[in-house]
Amino acid sequence: MKRVFKRIYLALILIFLYVPILVLIVQSFNAGKSRAKWEGFSFHWYQELVSNASIMNALWVTVSVAIIATIVATILGTLAAIGIYSMKKRPQAVMMTITNLPNTMPDIVTGVSLMLLYIFAKVERGYFTMVLAHITFDVPYVVLSVLPKLKQMNTHIYEAALDLGATPAYALTHVIIPECKQGIVTGALLAFTLSLDDFTISYFTTSPLVQNLSTLIYSATKLGISPVYYALSSLMFVVLLVLLLIVNHRTGDNKG
């Protein structure tokens, strides 16, 4: 009986979470604008999506910011993870606490903090500040993805490479990084996914003239949602779902 209750409870949670998304996807293929009446199957709203200049511009901002932030955050996060791994136990614990702090903080706190920093530094908010903000919250996730692979590595492999004549730079690029490659890729995928999906931090660190998809959709809700955004949201859901499945698969491989 207890097992049946658990299954029913799980089923209700999944229905509550995913039925609205399923309705959204179905409505994106509705030929009419009405959400209460099915007027036939059509790709009309997907065609409108491609021809919408503001959405395409927001898509370019979203993808370009995510790519730049992912590349920079992956490099910084990997180097930071190697540095933290090389520390003694107490400094390492302090750095891990600092690294975990942004992950446990609400996004609105990070967003407002960065906004106040830009205002204090008299930096005009826009594309550049959004990129910096995304790098900031992506780095800790890369660090936390790379560190487990470093801890699985043989602790003497770096010294062995040096003893065999390798320079520190060569040992880093040809010994350490290949050993934690899976963690680096997982961290990069996670950073890219989080950057694509971010709204709160982007909202506080950009201007109305530079919008990514999440801030554009938020602005559109004030005027009434067009079915074009159903098509956009459906595509975003599918892309993010695929990326998250890849991340979870690679994370499971790393733990194994």
Which pLDDT score is estimated for 64? 95
pLDDT in tens, 110-128: 999 999 999 999 999 999 9
Which pLDDT score is estimated for 246? 78
pLDDT in tens, 77-99: 999 999 998 888 888 888 888 88
The pLDDT > 70 percentage for the chain reads 97
pLDDT at 166 exceeding the cut of 60: yes
Q: Is 190 helix (H, G, I), strand (E, B) or coil?
A: helix
pLDDT at 60 exceeding the cut of 70: yes
CATH (one of 1.10.10.10, 1.10.8.50, 1.10.3720.10, 3.40.1080.10) for 56-255: 1.10.3720.10
Return all residues near 146 (Cβ < 8 A) that are at least 6 apart. 77, 78, 81, 82, 180, 183, 184, 187
Which pLDDT score is estimated for 71? 96
Mean of all residue pLDDT scores within the chain? 86
Separation of alpha carbons 80 and 78, rounded Å: 5
pLDDT at 16 exceeding the cut of 60: yes
Both tokens of 243, joined, read 């990326």
> Does residue 61 or residue 104 have the better pLDDT?
61
Whole-prediction pTM: 0.81
Region 62-76 average pLDDT? 95
pLDDT at 59 exceeding the cut of 70: yes
Region 160-176 average pLDDT? 84
Which pLDDT score is estimated for 254? 54
pLDDT in tens, 231-252: 888 888 888 788 778 777 766 6
* Alpha-helical regions (H) of 105-167: 107-120, 127-152, 157-163
Domain segments of the chain as ranges: 56-255
> Does residue 33 or residue 74 have the better pLDDT?
74
Give backbone dihedrals phi and psi of 52, rounded to 5 degrees, phi first: -85, 115
Lowest pLDDT segment from 33-37, 170-174, 185-189, 237-241? 33-37
Say how many C-beta atoms besides its own lie within 10 A of residue 57's C-beta: 14
Which pLDDT score is estimated for 80? 92
